[in-house]
Amino acid sequence: MTHENKFGMFIHWGIYSLTGLQEQAFSRYGLDRAEYEALKDRFDPVDYDPEKWVLLAKSCGMEYICFTAKHHDGFCMWDTKYTDYNIMNTPYGKDTLKMLADACAKHGLQLSLYYSNPDWNHPFGYNPKSTHQWKAVNKDAPDTEKYREFVKKQITELLTGYGKIYSFFWDIPTKIEDPSMNELIRRLQPGIYINDRGWDKGDFSTPEREYQAAEGTRFTRMTEANNSVGQQSWGYREKEDFYSIRHLTHAIDRYMSMGASYLLNAGPDSKGVITEEYAKRFRIIGDWYNRMKGCLVCHEEDTYNYESRHNKCIATKKNGRTYLHFYDGIMSDAVNLKNYPGMPKSIRLMNTDTELNASIEPLPEYFNPNGVAEVKFLHIRGIPVDELQNEPIVIEIEW
């Protein structure tokens, strides 16, 4: 399995956006079923323009969009023949997924699809072995075999009617082994990547939110980390608590320098708009990401033990250069490496695209009482750390 690692946009969007609460508002807020499902009769995203989503993603350096075709409530955002609970039976009446697929194709972005295993609307959607089953419509007579037949029909629609699909994101592990589910996906879309939340282990792992991998450990399996700009919701929330830019950029740098892809999520509102509160955060993060000049993708691990003094660091290499990712920031305006192959040919601060000065010299704290320097450091100085407090520091070195 190749280690794909890219930056992408996650989109959680459905009739739940009308609540302004959360993508699982039906369950977490204990909403009445009839009232919730009647939201489809008011769902009319007249301002939906998928090209704006795609162009926002591209401006941030993102290479793909992962779209929630169906979330836990069972409402389908495409023209499906297998349930009336779908976007075509709303005042809007247009296939939102087809529109997004066309916009992605037009602007050269790859498209991925999210599909929820729980389905709170389907009569056979209840799975007693799994989680997130709170609002299942029929808990008295579960039939996962009949439900799987339904899922396969919907997967066939999704993977034959919307062009090339980059990856498939199951959500909520079923705890039921059925290799035929992913076999169908691969048959319909050869070369597709499938995550680990479905009916077998799939191709890639999906750490979510604040998952902490071992410090500095490179992922040995294809991995796609994901988080939302909002702390309380993935779908649109009117009174959202937004993560700090620092928190998100540091997470993106950490995961991607460890070899993972990263999906950053937005929740469009009920009109189909990624509102300015969300979009401005994407633009700021995208500005930082674009200044990394591609060093976060298609890199290799640099196994040399540089041993950065005082600062956490992940080292990668690409095109003959080393990249030191100080994903947690740096303590001062200098970086000191105890180990190094020699004097660098050049050192560049990626954040500002400027050359940095360096020397090989002892530091005062490393002189012993006899006045002898025990070690000489590669001393890289002049980093404007106070101006870059919201960003991971990334240094490029050509040896």
Burial (CB count within 10 angstroms: exposed 0-12, middle 13-18, buried 19+), residue 186: middle
- Candidates 74, 60, 63, 180; CA nearest to 119 is 74
Phi/psi of residue 397, nearest 5 degrees: -125, 130
Show the DSSP H helices in the chain as ranges.
Answer: 25-28, 33-37, 50-59, 96-107, 144-160, 179-188, 245-257, 276-291
How far is Cα 131 from Cα 116, in angstroms, rounded to an integer? 12
Query: What pLDDT is stored for residue 341 in this prediction?
Result: 96
How many Å from the N-terminal Cα to the C-terminal Cα in the chain?
Answer: 31
The domains of the chain, with CATH numbers, are 7-291 (3.20.20.80), 300-398 (2.60.40.1180)
Q: How far apart are CA 336 and CA 71, in angstroms?
A: 48
Q: How many CB atoms within 10 Å of residue 71?
A: 26
Contact of 40 with 75, CB cutoff 8 Å: yes
As a whole number of angstroms, the distance between CA 40 and CA 86 comes to 8
CB atoms within 10 A of CB 225: 24
Whether 108 contacts 45, CB under 8 Å: no
* pLDDT, one tens digit for every residue, the chain (399 residues): 347 899 999 999 999 999 999 999 999 999 999 999 999 999 999 999 999 999 999 999 999 999 999 999 999 999 999 999 999 999 999 999 999 999 999 999 999 999 999 999 999 999 999 999 999 999 998 899 999 999 999 999 999 999 999 999 999 999 999 999 999 999 999 999 999 999 999 999 999 998 877 667 899 999 999 999 999 999 999 999 999 999 999 999 999 999 999 999 999 999 999 999 999 999 999 999 999 999 999 999 999 999 998 899 999 999 999 999 999 999 999 999 999 999 999 999 999 999 999 999 998 877 778 777 778 999 999 999 999 999 999 999 999
- Is the CB of residue 136 less than 8 Å from the CB of residue 108? no
Q: Name the residue with tokens 């025990």.
A: 374
What pTM was estimated for this model as a whole? 0.96
pLDDT, residue 39, reads 98
User: Which pLDDT belongs to residue 214?
Assistant: 67
Q: What pLDDT is attached to residue 1?
A: 33
Task: State how beta strands 7-11 and 261-266 pair.
Answer: parallel
Structure tokens at 398: 């050509």
What's the pLDDT score for residue 368?
Answer: 75
Phi-psi domain of 209 (left: phi exceeds 0; alpha: psi -120 through 50; beta: other): left
Q: What is the CA radius of gyration of the chain?
A: 24
